Homo-oligomer: A and B are copies of this chain.
């Protein structure tokens, strides 16, 4: 990945994109969350009738479509973060620290318990 690997740069591009189209008034956090989950569902649709094994071995065309759906999820997530003033990478680091405390490797290793208990 190049210097384009920068959520801040992506955020700026998305903000300019919305401003040029005067779409800010549609971009309330409530609406952006709805758009985000809609894109997550379009991503999921590609996998709903596949076995897990098939989902690990997508052909090139499907993988290309899946990539663009993932891009849509990222786009709305980054746009939402900008509107709310959230630092996504900082939040991810904080969440990872929480998860590390919640699921100590030595305790959950090789066990599906985390995944079986709700």
A residues contacting B by CB (< 8 A) are: 1, 4-8, 10, 13-14, 17, 20-23, 26, 28-31, 33-38, 40-53, 55-56, 58, 62-63, 65-68, 70-75, 77, 80-81, 83-96, 98-100, 103, 105, 108-110, 112, 115-116, 118
Total copies of this chain within the assembly: 4
Chain B: which residue is nearest A81 at the CB level? B70
Between-chain CB contacts (< 8 Å), 28 pairs: A1-B8, A1-B89, A10-B89, A13-B96, A17-B99, A21-B108, A21-B109, A22-B109, A28-B56, A29-B55, A30-B50, A30-B51, A31-B49, A33-B47, A34-B47, A35-B49, A36-B43, A37-B43, A49-B112, A49-B115, A50-B115, A51-B52, A63-B85, A66-B86, A67-B84, A67-B94, A70-B77, A70-B81
Q: Please determine whether B55 and A28 come into contact, CB atoms closer than 8 angstroms.
A: yes
Q: Please determine whether A95 and B66 come into contact, CB atoms closer than 8 angstroms.
A: no
Q: Please determine whether B38 and A41 come into contact, CB atoms closer than 8 angstroms.
A: yes
